[in-house]
Structure 1
Amino acid sequence: MTDAKSPGRLRPARLEQVAGGSGTGRDTAGGAAAGEAGRARRDGVATGVGTAGAKPSGTHARPNPAAELGFSGDPGQRGDPGSDMLHAQRAWDATLATNRLDDLGVNIERQRVEIRDVTAAVGLLVDGWPADVRACVQSVMDHTGANVLALDLGDIDGVGDVLDRLAEQYPDRIAVWHVIERPHWRGGTATWGESRAKLLRLDESDVHVLMETSVMLRGDALTPLVAAVAEGAVAAGWRGAEPSGGGVHEAGPGRVRALTGELMAVRRSAALGALPEDAHYGRNADLELSLGLRGELVVPPGPLPVERLGAHDVPADYLERESRRNYDGVRRILGAS
């Protein structure tokens, strides 16, 4: 499956701040963006995406903060309509009201409305751990409206039956493909890059979500990610990363240089050209994918309602070898940027 035309439901990708360019992408609190956000808050306008799950801003609010600043603290006191202080009071009240609406989850509802015409699907590579797969897929069904595309590699530990039962329960939302090839890390021929490429080409959605079966959703973590992509980011993820030297450090929220593949929403048309199809395993290959995307990478404000289910252990020597091999690709991109 290939793109016949550019998805008309997504805004053009923002290229003025290309991830992987100059700077680390870790200055997420200051600069012009923070100034604009501050001005929007003062004007009583909801800013940004992904505030669901954030700590309520009014948790420790004082009973009458306006009076402490010299403003009228009495809601029944009308005052002079032309008074600057009355205008300031109204702006203050509007800001507090907006924050409370965000705290009640109105912001994420607004995002759902804004992206109602944007299609998204979750792509899963399934290579064992039936209990985690069941929890992962069920969480997508329970908390989002996204479809699931699952590629079962070799029916490890009977996980194929788990997927089939879920697909029978949600026939309009879950599609499963079974292949006899076992995962590369188990001595088979099915590699991460090749399998991910198959899922991307099977998908017809505007936004493709890479998700690992080692995580599950505790709420709607997809809407903030898809909303960020719809607004112009080329990809948005649960975790940001800053590759430096021989290591990787966590980054975000805000604009970041790279994203991890545990949960990442990406413009499908862009991912098709950036995916490292020669990668045998996913560790660091997800970084190479995100670094290869041309556009802005972001981590929405959070925390997003995502939970790790546990480590999916692979042989240590295999993990070290393939992670090092994939990081060579990361270094090549960093060296060329």
Structure 2
Amino acid sequence: MTTAARHVWPTVRSIPVSAVTDARPPGHLKAARIEQVAGVSGTGRDTAGGAHTGAGRDTAGAEHTRRASGVGTAGARPRGARARMNPAAELGFSGDPGQHGDQGDGMLHAQRTWDATLATNRLDDLGVNTERQRVETRDVTACVGLLVDGWPEDVRRCVESVIEHTGARVLVLDLGNVEGAGDVLDVLAERHPERIAVWHVAEAPHWRGGTATWGESRAKLLHLDDSEVHVLMETGLELRGDALTPLVAAVNEGAVAAGWRGAEPSGDTWVEADPGEVRALTGGIIAVRRAQALAALPEDATYGRHADLRLSLALPGELVVPHGHAPVLPLSSHDVPGEYADRESRRNYEEVLRALHAS
């Protein structure tokens, strides 16, 4: 396919959105979690919109209020239904809440837990858990959204890795055909027409002297997508395995978003978080419920650095980092050095701090 054969829209804003795709109820995606397991205060909002708050602690030890889940009623647990009464039973312990067991059985229980952990790790190594997650999420629609601003070789490797290792569709917004990256996309789209859709605009990225901003461009990708789970991915990454299924599975199980790297606030800085529920997601791959991302995305962000933190703080629900190894290879840094990047990064981070302190 030649460059002359493609349709190029003048601006990001001029690309038409043929239908409102976020108004319909979810197809196969389970409802987001609206409460914690037994013994922990409920969080989120109930189906009538009433707020529930639960006290948590950030890494500095300060109490904060958990955010609401912000999801609809489709697939949600009926009001009045009880949480799991004994989650320990799911780990192989007694299912009787009144049974405390022999105090001398502590070593036996510890050994069983250790054996179960080793077995789980072995299953992870063999890919059994990921295959199970594929089956469980086979009907959940997911799409990878890419914002292309140059680096054609990285773009090729990034897109080809998504095609090779996942079943997700790829939706790409090419800003200005910088360094011929748009030409590379056309070749890939011609090779995989059922998997890749490319939108070209004449606008160059704002951070490269043009007028197309990060927030407006990412918002356009969200509106063009009609999937239940939208994956924000950077083109400076290459998948070395199925890095998406565990994230989609986490979202399907109730998280509003999932990624392979998490962050927790520590004063006015952020530190990397352990797997599990986190305050923010970073790392260049974030799977998010598309309907919630539409309202939370910082459309005023002209630059992408720290915009993931802003998105995370605005999302109404649990953010999760799965356990396990992320099969992702960084290709190169796509940060644009200079006064513009420094200024816009500071502006994004100031918004992050305001949102953090307000919460």
- TM-score interval w.r.t. the shorter chain? 0.7 to 0.9
Can you list the C-alpha shifts for 1:167-193, whole angstroms capped at 9, x where unaligned?
A: 011000000000000000011110000
Residue in structure 2 matched with residue 210 of structure 1 by the alignment: 232
Tell me, in whole angstroms, the C-alpha distance in 2 between the residues paired with 1:323 and 1:99: 39
* CA apart distance, 1:246: 3.5
Count of aligned pairs between the two proteins: 290
Write out aligned runs for 1:266-285 (5 A): 266-285=288-307
Distance verdict in 2 for CA 1:290–1:40, change over 3 Å: same
Residue in structure 1 matched with residue 138 of structure 2 by the alignment: 116
Residue in structure 1 matched with residue 11 of structure 2 by the alignment: none
Can you list the C-alpha shifts for 1:51-96, whole angstroms capped at 9, x where unaligned?
A: xxxxxxxxxxxxxxxxxx9xxxxxxxxxxxxxxx9xx999998886
In percent, how many aligned pairs have the same letter? 69
SS at match of 1:239: strand
Distance verdict in 2 for CA 1:333–1:223, change over 3 Å: same
SS at match of 2:172: strand
Distance verdict in 2 for CA 1:246–1:141, change over 3 Å: same
Tell me, in whole angstroms, the C-alpha distance in 1 between the residues paired with 2:228 and 2:267: 34
Distance verdict in 2 for CA 1:113–1:246, change over 3 Å: same
Tell me, in whole angstroms, the C-alpha distance in 1 between the residues paired with 2:351 and 2:227: 28
Residue in structure 1 matched with residue 339 of structure 2 by the alignment: 317
Question: Which residue of 302, 308, 311 corresponds with 2:330?
Answer: 308
SS at match of 2:57: coil
Tell me, in whole angstroms, the C-alpha distance in 1 between the residues paired with 2:195 and 2:239: 17
Query: Could you tell me whether the CA contact under 8 Å between 1:194 and 1:278 is conserved in 2?
Result: yes
Query: Could you tell me whether the CA contact under 8 Å between 2:258 and 2:281 is conserved in 1?
Result: yes
Question: Is 1:15 matched with 2:15?
Answer: no
Q: Which runs of 5+ in 1 are unaligned?
A: 28-35, 44-68, 70-84
Tell me, in whole angstroms, the C-alpha distance in 1 between the residues paired with 2:226 and 2:326: 26
Tell me, in whole angstroms, the C-alpha distance in 2 between the residues paired with 1:125 and 1:99: 35
* CA apart distance, 1:128: 0.3
Tell me, in whole angstroms, the C-alpha distance in 1 between the residues paired with 2:282 and 2:261: 6
Tell me, in whole angstroms, the C-alpha distance in 2 between the residues paired with 1:320 and 1:20: 37
Tell me, in whole angstroms, the C-alpha distance in 1 between the residues paired with 2:250 and 2:330: 23
* CA apart distance, 1:25: 7.1
Residue in structure 1 matched with residue 21 of structure 2 by the alignment: 2
TM-score (norm 2): 0.74
Query: Could you tell me whether the CA contact under 8 Å between 1:25 and 1:255 is conserved in 2?
Result: no
The residue type equivalent to 1:308 in the other structure is P
Residue in structure 2 matched with residue 297 of structure 1 by the alignment: 319
SS at match of 2:147: strand
Q: Which runs of 5+ in 2 are unaligned?
A: 1-19, 36-42, 45-52, 62-85, 94-104
CA RMSD of aligned residues (A): 3.0
Question: Which residue of 186, 189, 211 corresponds with 1:167?
Answer: 189
Tell me, in whole angstroms, the C-alpha distance in 2 between the residues paired with 1:290 and 1:21: 19
Residue in structure 2 matched with residue 228 of structure 1 by the alignment: 250
Query: Could you tell me whether the CA contact under 8 Å between 2:59 and 2:265 is conserved in 1?
Result: no
Question: Which residue of 250, 274, 288 corresponds with 2:310?
Answer: 288
Residue in structure 1 matched with residue 277 of structure 2 by the alignment: 255
Question: Which residue of 24, 48, 61 corresponds with 2:58?
Answer: 24
Tell me, in whole angstroms, the C-alpha distance in 1 between the residues paired with 2:54 and 2:121: 34
The residue type equivalent to 1:272 in the other structure is L
SS at match of 1:145: coil
* CA apart distance, 1:251: 1.1
* CA apart distance, 1:254: 0.7
TM-score (norm 1): 0.78
Tell me, in whole angstroms, the C-alpha distance in 2 between the residues paired with 1:94 and 1:22: 29
Bigger RCO of structures 1 and 2 (CA < 8 A, at least 6 apart): 1
* CA apart distance, 1:249: 1.7
Query: Could you tell me whether the CA contact under 8 Å between 1:130 and 1:162 is conserved in 2?
Result: yes
Tell me, in whole angstroms, the C-alpha distance in 2 between the residues paired with 1:26 and 1:243: 8
